[in-house]
Structure 1
Amino acid sequence: MPKVIDHDQRRREIVEVAKRLIAAGGFEAATMRSIVTAAGFANGALKHYFANKDGIIAATFESVLRETDTRVSTLDPSASPADALRGFVEAAMPLDEHRITSARVLLVLWEHSVANPDLARQYRELLTAWRAELTRRIAAACTQGRTPESPTVGTLADEIISVTIGANVASLMHPVGDLIDRYSDYVDSVLTRIAA
């Protein structure tokens, strides 16, 4: 009887290999040949799962974005508005080795997305959704009765997004974990300002 292959699992395995290669050596390290070799597949086997490298890169990009969504989806739905906001912000900050590695992959793929309209669109949609959710959570955590449409709330959301992106970039220039305390302090500080 022929072996049953879980094609979705194989695609996930290929994406994980691509992530590891990109994290270790940048975009150029994830060639079709290096992915096949690292995954332990025969030459040409990738064609059954992805038409080309762009397909693997798109799936890798989506996978990294989904990781943040997964962290957010596991937050306690009964948490206070301030704790819900904290969890949402912390989900995107480089506060552990896994998130720092994900940031490395995402930053490499951002550069590639400039020349890839589909990836650029995905990232714009992510930022738009992220900002909308942040404004909702900030307004809920404010003790001053602000709405998500308030300019102050929008400014805070833009600050958090900018700091988070900057923190992810800076975390790549330091030994893993060196900046975690600094970024945890930032989250505490911004939440104190929102609650004041």
Structure 2
Amino acid sequence: MPKVIDHDERRREIVEVAKQIILKGGFEAATMRSIATEAGFANGALKHYFPGKDSIVAATFESILAEMEAAAYAPVSDDAGERLRHFLRTPLPRTEEEIASGRVVLALWEHAMSNDELADLYRGFLDRWRIAFDRYLTAAKDAGAIAVEPPYDVLIDEYTSVVIGAAVVNLMHPDGSRVAAYDRYLDGFLARLG
């Protein structure tokens, strides 16, 4: 009887390999050949799972963004203030894995400048994040956990810029040495809202 292959699992494995290659060598290092070799496939075998490098890159980008969203929106408490804190803390890279994912996203940003599909993926992520951020702020205001009045656009823009900046800083400090500074910033940001 032939061996049953889980094609979705194989795609996930290929995406994980692509993440590691991009992390170590940047976007240009993630060639079809290097991905196939690292994943243990024959050179042409990747085409059974992805038609080309761009589709692997898009799947890698989607995977990282989905992980970030799942972590940010995870139910952590019935308290609206705690949910807001969790939501705001999640995109600030803290662990080795989060810092690595952020560094891969940075490598993919440059490619997104010339790839409309990747740019649309990231814009969609940012749009969903802004909407969710507004909802978390509104819920915290309604529960009395924060005092600041809507509209929240300026606060959302400020925090988004800090998160993106944190990803860039971690490119230079992948050891996590800036995590304590992000915690202090988050505490100060929430204090201003209170």
Relative to the length of structure 1, the TM-score reads: 0.93
What is the aligned partner in structure 1 of residue 86 from structure 2?
87
Question: How do residues 127-138 of structure 1 correspond to structure 2 at under 5 angstroms?
Answer: 127-138=126-137
CA distance in 1, matches of 2:128, 2:47: 33
Question: How do residues 87-166 of structure 1 correspond to structure 2 at under 5 angstroms?
Answer: 87-142=86-141, 143-144=146-147, 146-147=149-150, 150=151, 153-166=152-165
The answer on whether the counterparts of 1:138 and 1:194 sit within 8 Å (CA) in structure 2 is: no
CA distance in 2, matches of 1:16, 1:171: 20
What residue ranges of structure 1 are gaps of 5+ in the alignment? none
Deviation at 1:13, TM superposition (A): 0.1
Give the count of matched residue pairs: 190
Deviation at 1:145, TM superposition (A): 6.6
Q: Which runs of 4+ in 1 moved over 6 A?
A: none
Percent identity, please: 52
CA distance in 1, matches of 2:137, 2:176: 27
**RMSD across aligned positions (CA):** 1.3
* SS in structure 2 at match of 1:5: coil
The answer on whether the counterparts of 2:22 and 2:104 sit within 8 Å (CA) in structure 1 is: yes
Deviation at 1:82, TM superposition (A): 1.6
What is the aligned partner in structure 1 of residue 168 from structure 2?
169
Relative to the length of structure 2, the TM-score reads: 0.93
CA distance in 1, matches of 2:96, 2:155: 27
